[in-house]
Structure 1
Amino acid sequence: MTIHKEGYSTLFVVLIVLLGLNAGIYFLAGIEITNITTFVSALFYFLIVNFFRSPKRDAIIQDGAIIAPADGKVVTIEEVVEDEYLKTKCLQVSIFMSVTNVHINWFPIKGVVKYFRHHSGRFMAAYLPKSSTENERTTVVIENHKGTQILVRQVAGAMARRIVCYAEEEKAISQGEQMGFIKFGSRVDLYLPLDSRIDVQLEQKVTGRQTIIGWLK
Protein backbone atom coordinates (compact mmCIF):
# COMPACT_ATOMS: atom_id res chain seq x y z
CA MET A 1 0.00 0.00 0.00
CA THR A 2 1.36 3.42 -0.98
CA ILE A 3 0.95 6.19 1.59
CA HIS A 4 0.24 9.75 0.50
CA LYS A 5 2.86 12.32 1.53
CA GLU A 6 0.25 14.29 3.50
CA GLY A 7 -0.04 11.35 5.91
CA TYR A 8 3.61 11.03 6.94
CA SER A 9 3.58 13.47 9.86
CA THR A 10 0.18 12.36 11.15
CA LEU A 11 1.11 8.70 11.06
CA PHE A 12 4.39 9.38 12.87
CA VAL A 13 2.67 11.32 15.66
CA VAL A 14 -0.07 8.70 16.06
CA LEU A 15 2.55 5.92 16.21
CA ILE A 16 4.53 7.71 18.95
CA VAL A 17 1.37 8.37 20.98
CA LEU A 18 0.21 4.75 20.72
CA LEU A 19 3.63 3.39 21.66
CA GLY A 20 3.79 5.68 24.68
CA LEU A 21 0.25 4.81 25.71
CA ASN A 22 0.86 1.08 25.55
CA ALA A 23 4.19 1.40 27.38
CA GLY A 24 2.41 3.22 30.18
CA ILE A 25 -0.33 0.59 30.35
CA TYR A 26 2.31 -2.16 30.49
CA PHE A 27 3.99 -0.64 33.56
CA LEU A 28 0.68 0.15 35.28
CA ALA A 29 -1.51 -2.84 34.39
CA GLY A 30 0.76 -5.66 33.22
CA ILE A 31 1.15 -7.75 30.09
CA GLU A 32 -2.40 -9.16 29.85
CA ILE A 33 -4.08 -5.77 29.59
CA THR A 34 -1.27 -4.54 27.34
CA ASN A 35 -1.92 -7.39 24.90
CA ILE A 36 -5.50 -6.19 24.52
CA THR A 37 -4.63 -2.52 24.15
CA THR A 38 -1.84 -3.36 21.69
CA PHE A 39 -4.31 -5.23 19.49
CA VAL A 40 -6.79 -2.33 19.61
CA SER A 41 -4.00 0.16 18.91
CA ALA A 42 -2.77 -1.84 15.94
CA LEU A 43 -6.29 -1.97 14.50
CA PHE A 44 -6.73 1.78 15.01
CA TYR A 45 -3.37 2.50 13.41
CA PHE A 46 -4.25 0.37 10.39
CA LEU A 47 -7.44 2.40 9.91
CA ILE A 48 -5.43 5.63 9.97
CA VAL A 49 -2.91 4.20 7.49
CA ASN A 50 -5.78 3.11 5.24
CA PHE A 51 -7.18 6.63 5.30
CA PHE A 52 -3.95 8.04 3.84
CA ARG A 53 -3.64 5.43 1.09
CA SER A 54 -2.70 6.64 -2.37
CA PRO A 55 -3.93 4.13 -4.95
CA LYS A 56 -2.43 3.85 -8.40
CA ARG A 57 -5.13 4.45 -10.99
CA ASP A 58 -5.16 5.72 -14.56
CA ALA A 59 -6.95 9.01 -15.18
CA ILE A 60 -9.56 9.48 -17.88
CA ILE A 61 -8.10 12.18 -20.13
CA GLN A 62 -10.71 13.52 -22.54
CA ASP A 63 -11.35 17.02 -23.83
CA GLY A 64 -14.70 18.33 -22.62
CA ALA A 65 -15.12 15.69 -19.93
CA ILE A 66 -15.40 16.63 -16.26
CA ILE A 67 -13.86 13.84 -14.22
CA ALA A 68 -14.65 13.21 -10.57
CA PRO A 69 -12.34 15.29 -8.37
CA ALA A 70 -12.77 12.87 -5.45
CA ASP A 71 -13.96 9.45 -4.37
CA GLY A 72 -17.31 9.40 -2.63
CA LYS A 73 -21.06 9.76 -3.09
CA VAL A 74 -22.94 12.42 -5.06
CA VAL A 75 -25.07 14.29 -2.51
CA THR A 76 -26.08 17.40 -4.46
CA ILE A 77 -27.10 18.15 -8.05
CA GLU A 78 -28.88 21.48 -8.24
CA GLU A 79 -28.97 24.94 -9.78
CA VAL A 80 -27.45 27.57 -7.48
CA VAL A 81 -25.92 31.04 -7.60
CA GLU A 82 -22.15 30.98 -7.08
CA ASP A 83 -21.41 34.38 -5.54
CA GLU A 84 -17.74 34.21 -4.58
CA TYR A 85 -16.15 34.42 -8.03
CA LEU A 86 -18.34 33.32 -10.94
CA LYS A 87 -21.24 35.57 -9.84
CA THR A 88 -23.78 33.63 -11.85
CA LYS A 89 -26.15 30.68 -11.82
CA CYS A 90 -24.37 27.32 -12.00
CA LEU A 91 -25.00 23.61 -11.68
CA GLN A 92 -23.61 22.46 -8.36
CA VAL A 93 -22.48 18.83 -8.07
CA SER A 94 -21.21 17.83 -4.62
CA ILE A 95 -19.31 14.68 -3.66
CA PHE A 96 -19.24 13.62 -0.01
CA MET A 97 -16.19 11.66 1.17
CA SER A 98 -16.58 9.42 4.20
CA VAL A 99 -13.62 8.40 6.35
CA THR A 100 -13.35 5.16 4.36
CA ASN A 101 -12.82 6.93 1.02
CA VAL A 102 -9.52 7.93 -0.54
CA HIS A 103 -9.14 11.62 0.35
CA ILE A 104 -6.93 12.81 -2.49
CA ASN A 105 -8.50 15.45 -4.73
CA TRP A 106 -7.81 15.83 -8.46
CA PHE A 107 -8.29 18.57 -11.04
CA PRO A 108 -11.43 17.66 -13.05
CA ILE A 109 -10.40 19.42 -16.28
CA LYS A 110 -7.29 20.68 -18.04
CA GLY A 111 -6.68 24.42 -18.00
CA VAL A 112 -5.20 27.34 -16.09
CA VAL A 113 -5.93 28.22 -12.47
CA LYS A 114 -7.45 31.71 -12.58
CA TYR A 115 -8.35 32.05 -8.89
CA PHE A 116 -7.40 30.42 -5.59
CA ARG A 117 -8.46 31.31 -2.07
CA HIS A 118 -8.40 29.60 1.31
CA HIS A 119 -11.21 30.53 3.71
CA SER A 120 -11.19 29.87 7.43
CA GLY A 121 -14.54 28.78 8.82
CA ARG A 122 -16.59 26.37 10.87
CA PHE A 123 -16.46 22.57 10.99
CA MET A 124 -20.08 21.49 10.51
CA ALA A 125 -20.89 18.08 9.07
CA ALA A 126 -19.77 18.16 5.43
CA TYR A 127 -23.06 16.77 4.10
CA LEU A 128 -24.98 19.86 5.27
CA PRO A 129 -25.70 22.41 2.50
CA LYS A 130 -24.39 25.36 4.57
CA SER A 131 -20.98 23.70 4.85
CA SER A 132 -20.15 24.86 1.31
CA THR A 133 -20.17 28.51 2.39
CA GLU A 134 -19.56 28.44 6.15
CA ASN A 135 -16.97 25.70 6.72
CA GLU A 136 -13.20 25.82 6.30
CA ARG A 137 -12.75 25.63 2.53
CA THR A 138 -10.68 26.42 -0.53
CA THR A 139 -11.95 27.78 -3.84
CA VAL A 140 -10.23 27.06 -7.15
CA VAL A 141 -11.36 28.38 -10.53
CA ILE A 142 -10.08 26.64 -13.68
CA GLU A 143 -10.38 28.04 -17.19
CA ASN A 144 -10.06 25.69 -20.17
CA HIS A 145 -8.75 26.50 -23.64
CA LYS A 146 -12.21 27.63 -24.77
CA GLY A 147 -12.44 30.21 -22.00
CA THR A 148 -15.00 28.19 -20.03
CA GLN A 149 -14.56 28.44 -16.27
CA ILE A 150 -15.54 25.96 -13.57
CA LEU A 151 -15.15 26.30 -9.82
CA VAL A 152 -13.94 23.54 -7.51
CA ARG A 153 -14.38 23.91 -3.75
CA GLN A 154 -12.78 21.69 -1.10
CA VAL A 155 -14.89 21.74 2.06
CA ALA A 156 -13.79 20.56 5.51
CA GLY A 157 -16.14 18.44 7.60
CA ALA A 158 -16.82 17.92 11.30
CA MET A 159 -13.61 15.88 11.66
CA ALA A 160 -11.55 17.43 8.86
CA ARG A 161 -9.21 19.99 10.36
CA ARG A 162 -6.82 20.54 7.52
CA ILE A 163 -7.28 21.15 3.82
CA VAL A 164 -4.23 20.95 1.55
CA CYS A 165 -4.45 22.51 -1.90
CA TYR A 166 -1.68 22.63 -4.50
CA ALA A 167 -3.39 25.13 -6.83
CA GLU A 168 -1.50 28.29 -7.81
CA GLU A 169 -2.99 31.18 -9.75
CA GLU A 170 -1.97 31.35 -13.43
CA LYS A 171 -0.47 27.86 -13.27
CA ALA A 172 -1.36 25.42 -16.05
CA ILE A 173 -2.75 22.14 -14.73
CA SER A 174 -3.55 18.77 -16.30
CA GLN A 175 -6.77 16.81 -16.05
CA GLY A 176 -6.39 14.21 -13.30
CA GLU A 177 -3.40 15.94 -11.71
CA GLN A 178 -3.48 16.01 -7.90
CA MET A 179 -5.17 19.15 -6.60
CA GLY A 180 -4.85 18.47 -2.88
CA PHE A 181 -5.91 16.42 0.12
CA ILE A 182 -8.51 16.78 2.89
CA LYS A 183 -7.97 14.98 6.19
CA PHE A 184 -10.75 12.97 7.88
CA GLY A 185 -14.13 13.39 6.22
CA SER A 186 -15.11 16.14 3.81
CA ARG A 187 -16.68 17.05 0.46
CA VAL A 188 -15.81 18.58 -2.89
CA ASP A 189 -18.21 20.88 -4.75
CA LEU A 190 -18.17 21.52 -8.49
CA TYR A 191 -19.84 24.63 -9.94
CA LEU A 192 -20.42 24.11 -13.65
CA PRO A 193 -22.01 26.15 -16.48
CA LEU A 194 -25.78 25.67 -16.76
CA ASP A 195 -25.45 24.12 -20.21
CA SER A 196 -23.17 21.35 -18.92
CA ARG A 197 -24.39 17.79 -19.37
CA ILE A 198 -24.47 15.87 -16.09
CA ASP A 199 -23.97 12.11 -16.33
CA VAL A 200 -24.23 11.17 -12.63
CA GLN A 201 -27.20 10.83 -10.29
CA LEU A 202 -27.85 11.56 -6.64
CA GLU A 203 -26.50 8.89 -4.28
CA GLN A 204 -24.23 7.52 -7.01
CA LYS A 205 -20.78 6.47 -5.87
CA VAL A 206 -17.97 7.93 -7.95
CA THR A 207 -14.25 7.26 -8.28
CA GLY A 208 -11.78 10.13 -8.47
CA ARG A 209 -9.88 10.42 -11.78
CA GLN A 210 -12.09 7.76 -13.37
CA THR A 211 -15.81 8.60 -13.18
CA ILE A 212 -17.04 11.15 -15.70
CA ILE A 213 -19.28 13.65 -13.87
CA GLY A 214 -20.43 15.31 -17.10
CA TRP A 215 -19.40 17.29 -20.14
CA LEU A 216 -18.71 20.94 -20.94
CA LYS A 217 -20.05 22.39 -24.18
Structure 2
Amino acid sequence: MITRHATKEIIYFFVLTMAAIGVIACLAYVTGAAWLNWLIIFPVLFYGFVLFFFRDPGRKVPPGEENVVAPADGYITDIETVEEPEFLGGKALRIGIFLSLFTPHINRSPVDGTVRYIKYHPGQFHNALHSRICGRENEANSIGIDNGSFPLLVKQIAGIIARRIVCTPCVGATLSRGERIGMIKFGSRTELYIPVSVNFTPKVKLGERVRAGSSIIGVIGKEVTP
Protein backbone atom coordinates (compact mmCIF):
# COMPACT_ATOMS: atom_id res chain seq x y z
CA MET A 1 0.00 0.00 0.00
CA ILE A 2 1.19 3.53 -0.82
CA THR A 3 0.78 6.20 1.85
CA ARG A 4 -1.83 8.88 1.25
CA HIS A 5 0.75 11.50 2.20
CA ALA A 6 2.62 10.98 -1.08
CA THR A 7 -0.05 12.01 -3.61
CA LYS A 8 1.76 15.17 -4.75
CA GLU A 9 5.14 13.45 -5.00
CA ILE A 10 3.75 10.49 -6.92
CA ILE A 11 2.04 12.76 -9.46
CA TYR A 12 5.11 15.01 -9.77
CA PHE A 13 7.55 12.15 -10.31
CA PHE A 14 5.15 10.39 -12.68
CA VAL A 15 5.05 13.48 -14.91
CA LEU A 16 8.84 13.77 -14.66
CA THR A 17 9.27 10.10 -15.56
CA MET A 18 6.95 10.32 -18.55
CA ALA A 19 8.76 13.44 -19.76
CA ALA A 20 12.11 11.66 -19.53
CA ILE A 21 10.72 8.66 -21.43
CA GLY A 22 9.35 10.99 -24.11
CA VAL A 23 12.71 12.74 -24.54
CA ILE A 24 14.56 9.43 -24.83
CA ALA A 25 12.03 8.07 -27.36
CA CYS A 26 12.29 11.23 -29.46
CA LEU A 27 16.09 11.09 -29.47
CA ALA A 28 15.98 7.44 -30.52
CA TYR A 29 13.57 8.26 -33.36
CA VAL A 30 15.42 11.35 -34.61
CA THR A 31 18.89 9.82 -34.48
CA GLY A 32 17.82 6.36 -35.59
CA ALA A 33 19.76 4.91 -32.67
CA ALA A 34 17.37 2.24 -31.46
CA TRP A 35 19.69 1.36 -28.57
CA LEU A 36 18.72 4.64 -26.90
CA ASN A 37 15.34 3.09 -26.10
CA TRP A 38 17.11 0.94 -23.52
CA LEU A 39 17.75 4.11 -21.50
CA ILE A 40 14.02 4.23 -20.73
CA ILE A 41 14.69 1.66 -18.03
CA PHE A 42 16.42 4.30 -15.85
CA PRO A 43 13.45 6.69 -15.37
CA VAL A 44 11.19 3.65 -14.93
CA LEU A 45 13.46 2.28 -12.18
CA PHE A 46 13.60 5.71 -10.56
CA TYR A 47 9.82 5.95 -10.43
CA GLY A 48 9.68 2.42 -9.07
CA PHE A 49 11.97 3.53 -6.24
CA VAL A 50 9.68 6.49 -5.49
CA LEU A 51 6.73 4.10 -5.11
CA PHE A 52 8.89 1.79 -3.00
CA PHE A 53 9.92 4.63 -0.71
CA PHE A 54 6.36 5.78 -0.06
CA ARG A 55 5.09 2.30 0.82
CA ASP A 56 2.97 1.96 3.94
CA PRO A 57 3.10 -1.69 5.02
CA GLY A 58 0.51 -3.04 7.41
CA ARG A 59 1.77 -4.00 10.86
CA LYS A 60 0.57 -6.43 13.52
CA VAL A 61 0.70 -4.64 16.87
CA PRO A 62 1.83 -6.97 19.69
CA PRO A 63 -0.63 -7.37 22.60
CA GLY A 64 0.10 -6.13 26.11
CA GLU A 65 -0.33 -2.59 27.45
CA GLU A 66 3.11 -2.78 29.03
CA ASN A 67 4.77 -3.05 25.62
CA VAL A 68 6.06 0.13 23.99
CA VAL A 69 6.40 -0.29 20.22
CA ALA A 70 8.86 1.42 17.91
CA PRO A 71 7.61 4.75 16.51
CA ALA A 72 9.56 4.28 13.26
CA ASP A 73 11.27 1.76 11.00
CA GLY A 74 15.05 1.86 11.07
CA TYR A 75 18.15 1.19 13.14
CA ILE A 76 18.72 2.04 16.80
CA THR A 77 21.47 4.67 17.00
CA ASP A 78 21.08 6.04 20.54
CA ILE A 79 20.05 4.78 23.96
CA GLU A 80 21.01 7.37 26.55
CA THR A 81 19.74 9.57 29.36
CA VAL A 82 19.36 13.25 28.47
CA GLU A 83 17.55 16.38 29.61
CA GLU A 84 14.19 16.86 27.89
CA PRO A 85 12.87 20.34 28.83
CA GLU A 86 10.36 20.79 26.01
CA PHE A 87 7.51 18.54 27.17
CA LEU A 88 8.70 16.19 29.91
CA GLY A 89 10.58 18.84 31.87
CA GLY A 90 13.42 16.69 33.18
CA LYS A 91 15.66 13.73 32.57
CA ALA A 92 14.49 11.16 30.07
CA LEU A 93 15.75 8.08 28.30
CA ARG A 94 16.21 8.86 24.63
CA ILE A 95 16.04 6.12 22.02
CA GLY A 96 17.04 7.30 18.55
CA ILE A 97 16.07 5.54 15.32
CA PHE A 98 17.72 6.32 11.97
CA LEU A 99 15.51 5.93 8.89
CA SER A 100 17.44 5.33 5.68
CA LEU A 101 16.10 5.83 2.16
CA PHE A 102 15.30 2.11 2.04
CA THR A 103 13.04 1.87 5.11
CA PRO A 104 9.36 2.88 5.30
CA HIS A 105 9.04 6.40 6.70
CA ILE A 106 5.66 6.11 8.41
CA ASN A 107 5.62 7.08 12.10
CA ARG A 108 3.37 5.26 14.57
CA SER A 109 2.31 5.88 18.15
CA PRO A 110 4.39 3.84 20.62
CA VAL A 111 1.57 3.64 23.21
CA ASP A 112 -2.15 4.13 23.70
CA GLY A 113 -2.78 7.68 24.82
CA THR A 114 -3.92 11.23 24.18
CA VAL A 115 -1.94 13.87 22.30
CA ARG A 116 -1.21 16.71 24.74
CA TYR A 117 1.43 18.67 22.85
CA ILE A 118 2.51 19.32 19.27
CA LYS A 119 5.14 21.80 18.17
CA TYR A 120 6.91 22.28 14.85
CA HIS A 121 10.52 23.48 14.93
CA PRO A 122 11.99 25.00 11.75
CA GLY A 123 15.69 24.33 11.33
CA GLN A 124 18.61 22.98 9.35
CA PHE A 125 19.01 19.70 7.46
CA HIS A 126 22.13 18.06 8.86
CA ASN A 127 22.83 14.36 8.31
CA ALA A 128 20.34 12.43 10.47
CA LEU A 129 23.12 10.05 11.56
CA HIS A 130 24.67 12.88 13.59
CA SER A 131 22.17 12.66 16.43
CA ARG A 132 23.57 15.35 18.71
CA ILE A 133 23.73 18.02 16.00
CA CYS A 134 20.54 17.25 14.12
CA GLY A 135 18.58 16.77 17.35
CA ARG A 136 19.33 20.39 18.30
CA GLU A 137 19.42 22.16 14.94
CA ASN A 138 17.38 20.24 12.35
CA GLU A 139 13.79 20.80 11.30
CA ALA A 140 11.67 18.76 13.69
CA ASN A 141 8.20 18.14 15.03
CA SER A 142 7.48 17.14 18.64
CA ILE A 143 4.45 15.08 19.67
CA GLY A 144 3.75 14.77 23.40
CA ILE A 145 1.56 11.82 24.37
CA ASP A 146 -0.02 11.03 27.75
CA ASN A 147 -1.10 7.42 28.15
CA GLY A 148 -2.79 8.03 31.50
CA SER A 149 0.10 6.74 33.60
CA PHE A 150 3.04 8.69 32.21
CA PRO A 151 3.90 11.11 29.39
CA LEU A 152 6.35 10.52 26.58
CA LEU A 153 7.62 12.47 23.59
CA VAL A 154 8.03 11.39 19.97
CA LYS A 155 10.25 13.67 17.92
CA GLN A 156 10.22 13.58 14.12
CA ILE A 157 13.51 14.98 12.79
CA ALA A 158 14.29 15.81 9.17
CA GLY A 159 17.59 14.70 7.65
CA ILE A 160 19.93 15.94 4.95
CA ILE A 161 17.46 15.02 2.18
CA ALA A 162 14.13 15.32 3.98
CA ARG A 163 12.34 18.61 3.55
CA ARG A 164 8.87 17.86 4.85
CA ILE A 165 7.48 16.40 8.05
CA VAL A 166 3.88 15.20 8.18
CA CYS A 167 2.03 15.06 11.51
CA THR A 168 -1.55 13.81 11.30
CA PRO A 169 -3.01 13.98 14.85
CA CYS A 170 -3.95 17.19 16.62
CA VAL A 171 -3.84 18.08 20.31
CA GLY A 172 -6.59 16.18 22.11
CA ALA A 173 -6.61 13.27 19.67
CA THR A 174 -6.82 9.77 21.12
CA LEU A 175 -4.24 7.34 19.76
CA SER A 176 -4.00 3.58 19.76
CA ARG A 177 -0.66 1.83 20.08
CA GLY A 178 0.75 1.34 16.58
CA GLU A 179 -1.58 3.92 15.01
CA ARG A 180 -0.12 6.03 12.20
CA ILE A 181 0.79 9.55 13.33
CA GLY A 182 2.60 10.87 10.25
CA MET A 183 5.77 10.47 8.22
CA ILE A 184 9.08 12.12 7.34
CA LYS A 185 9.88 12.28 3.65
CA PHE A 186 13.26 11.14 2.27
CA GLY A 187 15.73 10.14 4.99
CA SER A 188 15.41 11.17 8.63
CA ARG A 189 15.39 10.05 12.27
CA THR A 190 12.79 9.60 14.99
CA GLU A 191 13.46 9.88 18.71
CA LEU A 192 11.47 8.55 21.64
CA TYR A 193 11.80 10.16 25.09
CA ILE A 194 10.52 8.44 28.23
CA PRO A 195 10.90 9.98 31.73
CA VAL A 196 13.50 8.30 33.95
CA SER A 197 10.83 8.26 36.69
CA VAL A 198 9.11 5.51 34.71
CA ASN A 199 10.24 1.93 35.18
CA PHE A 200 11.06 1.40 31.53
CA THR A 201 13.23 -1.50 30.40
CA PRO A 202 14.64 -1.20 26.85
CA LYS A 203 14.34 -4.35 24.77
CA VAL A 204 16.57 -3.17 21.93
CA LYS A 205 20.29 -2.61 21.49
CA LEU A 206 22.41 -0.29 19.38
CA GLY A 207 22.41 -1.23 15.71
CA GLU A 208 19.26 -3.33 15.97
CA ARG A 209 16.65 -2.93 13.25
CA VAL A 210 13.09 -2.20 14.37
CA ARG A 211 9.73 -1.91 12.65
CA ALA A 212 7.21 0.80 13.47
CA GLY A 213 4.18 -0.48 15.33
CA SER A 214 5.31 -4.10 15.59
CA SER A 215 8.76 -4.17 17.24
CA ILE A 216 8.71 -3.97 21.04
CA ILE A 217 11.21 -1.26 21.89
CA GLY A 218 10.76 -1.62 25.65
CA VAL A 219 8.50 -2.68 28.51
CA ILE A 220 6.86 -0.45 31.12
CA GLY A 221 6.63 -1.48 34.77
CA LYS A 222 5.24 0.49 37.70
CA GLU A 223 6.11 4.17 37.92
CA VAL A 224 9.06 4.95 40.16
CA THR A 225 8.89 7.73 42.75
CA PRO A 226 11.49 10.40 41.84
Shorter chain as denominator, the TM-score bin is over 0.9
State the secondary structure of the residue aligned to 1:91: strand
Counterpart of 1:185 in structure 2 is 187
Mapped partners of 1:216, 1:136: distance in 2: 30
Q: Which amino acid aligns with 1:137?
A: A
Unmatched runs of 5 consecutive residues or more in structure 2: 222-226
Task: Show CA shifts across 1:80-107 (max 9, x none).
Answer: 0012222201100011111110111100
Counterpart of 1:7 in structure 2 is 6
Give the Å deviation of 1:214: 0.7
Q: Is the 8 A contact 1:123 1:160 kept in 2?
A: yes
1:113-152 aligned within 5 A? 113-129=115-131, 130-146=133-149, 148-152=150-154
Q: 1:33/1:160 Cα in 2 relative to 1: closer, same or farther (>3 Å)? A: farther
Mapped partners of 2:89, 2:27: distance in 1: 61
State the secondary structure of the residue aligned to 1:7: helix
Identity of aligned residues (%): 35
Give 4+ residue runs of structure 1 displaced > 3 Å after superposition: 28-31
For this pair of structures, how many residues does the alignment match? 215
1:100-115 aligned within 5 A? 100-115=102-117
Q: Is the 8 A contact 2:166 2:182 kept in 1?
A: yes
Root mean square deviation of aligned Cα: 1.4
State the secondary structure of the residue aligned to 2:7: helix
Unmatched runs of 5 consecutive residues or more in structure 1: none
Output the TM-score relative to the length of structure 2: 0.91
Mapped partners of 1:212, 1:110: distance in 2: 14
Q: Is the 8 A contact 2:24 2:37 kept in 1?
A: no
Give the Å deviation of 1:207: 1.1
